Amino acid sequence: MDQILVRGGVPLRGRVVVRGAKNSALPLMAAAIVSQEPCVLHNVPCLHDIFSMDKILSSMGMRIDFTGQSMTLDPTALNSSEASYELVRKMRASFFVLGALLARFGKAKVSLPGGCAIGERPVDIHLKGLASLGIEIRIEDGYVVAQGKLRGANVGLDFPSVGATENLMMAAAMADGVTRLNNVAREPEIVDLAEFLNAMGAQISGAGTDLITIVGVPELKGAVHEVIPDRIEAGTFLIAGLATRGDVTVAKANAGHLESFLDKLREMGATVEARGSDIRATAPNGLVAKDVSTQPYPGFPTDLQAQMMVLMCISQGTSVIRESVFENRFMQVAELRRMGADIDVQGSTAVVRGVSGLSGAPVMASDLRASAALVIAGLIASKGETRIARVYHIDRGYERIEERLASLGADIKRRRE
């Protein structure tokens, strides 16, 4: 298994281009299932999670060509509405094919994703919503077996789940009649999916608000679409720059998608400039502690919580971080403590007392964002080397992170094993 080796203490400087959003590209790929014709996605990141979705769709007969950052998905030979446990267990987002399969075939058999490191992550909201749209659902041997004729309905979500909103949008796009989805997720990735489906001929309005209205249409055609920039990747690079007292600009980003995060950086004392699609953040004199509470969009993103915690570790004063989206998302804490961080966790709250620096240590990545946090901690540590094991987690969501950080001046390399 590969390791990442970091020698910290070097201020990162320069410009790094943000890739397309993983969390947009995955549901967009699934959405090609509902099209009658080939679709093209541009700005698709080259990531393990994208390859996992490629495998699932290919197993159903989708023909996929992924060259450079462009992907053609040809659904004309789709012949299966099943997604096996072997494929789904690797990535929870595979479950997002369920709604699209129902729209296309009127039936689907998709493995339940199971738990994951950051929490239980059930799919009850997805299933309840699909049942309201007229789908009969049974759980058999670990699989969701679903079938029925999709009929428009009013559906209220118990929580604005991102994946459930996406599954329901894809299902309702071809339902008979009008669907109103209430208390839905408002993430930019939801808006991106609505725009792609609308380009295929769907009639979806209200994406980005908590009420989405969908007028079902009988057929969808091919479309060409550009994936939005990855706001989590942009935030991660900005934090890495600030944590090393450097000067990093992220290019091809969208500051409008990162408002609560950028506001928090400003509150902590950073200077943040957003010009066109560039965002630059600096804090040559360091940062002061502030409290953060993760929330569904437009609140502070849970996917930036672990990285932000590292910044808090070296800010002046004490910060309180409340994780309110996932129940077990402080996996990075034990490893950060081994690097000299002063953090106490009680339930979903972490109290982070700023220290003057961190020191390098061998650490273990446990999930995608926690591993990004460990890399940033390694970049801070001016004493010793940080060796991060199990970097396959990081490869799920960051494209060649070590090369891109090295281009900003970091002393970082991958050891292939």
**Which residues of this protein are in contact with ligand UD1, per CB under 6 A?**
23, 26, 92-93, 119-126, 159, 161-164, 302-303, 325-326
In whole angstroms, give the CA distance from residue 188 to residue 387.
34
In the DSSP assignment, the letter for residue 325 is S
DSSP for 26-55, written as a single string: HHHHHHGGG-SS-EEEES----HHHHHHHH
Please enumerate in sequence order all residues whose Cβ is within 8 A of that of 328, keeping only pairs 6 or more positions apart, or say none. Answer: 117, 118, 119
Residues in contact with 86: Cβ distance below 8 Å, sequence separation at least 6, in sequence order: none
Given 39, 46, 116, 313, the catalytic residue? 116
Rounded distance between C-alpha atoms, residue 304 and residue 19, angstroms: 16
Minimum distance, C-beta of residue 108 to ligand UD1, in the bound complex (Å): 16
Q: Which residue is nearest to ligand UD1 (CB)?
A: 163
Q: How far apart are the first and last CA of the chain?
A: 5
The total of other beta-carbon atoms located within 10 Å of residue 314's CB is 23
With beta carbons less than 8 A apart as the criterion, state whether 209 and 186 touch: yes
CB of 81 to ligand UD1, least distance (A): 21
Q: Are 107 and 147 in contact (CB under 8 A)?
A: yes
Of the pair 185, 336, the CB lying nearest ligand UD1 is at 185
Cβ proximity to ligand UD1, 126 vs 393, nearer residue: 126
CB nearer to ligand UD1: give 110 or 380.
110
Q: Shortest Cβ distance from residue 92 to ligand UD1 (Å)?
A: 6
Q: By C-beta, is 90 or 92 nearer to ligand UD1?
A: 92
Cβ atoms of 302 and 326 within 8 Å: the answer is yes
In the complex, minimum distance from the CB of residue 409 to ligand UD1, in angstroms, rounded to a whole number = 29
H or E element that contains 128: helix 124-132
The torsion angle over the Cα atoms of residues 91, 191, 31 and 53, rounded to 10 degrees, is -20
- Cis ω before 298 (30° cut-off from 0): yes
Annotated active-site residue 46? The verdict is no
Q: Of 23 and 319, which has the nearer Cβ to ligand UD1?
A: 23
Least gap, CB of 49 to ligand UD1 (angstroms): 8
- Find tokens 């008979």 and name the residue: 176
- Given the complex with ligand UD1, which of 153 and 215 has the nearer CB atom? 153
Q: Write down the least CB distance from residue 166 to ligand UD1, Å.
A: 7
Active-site residues: which are they? 116
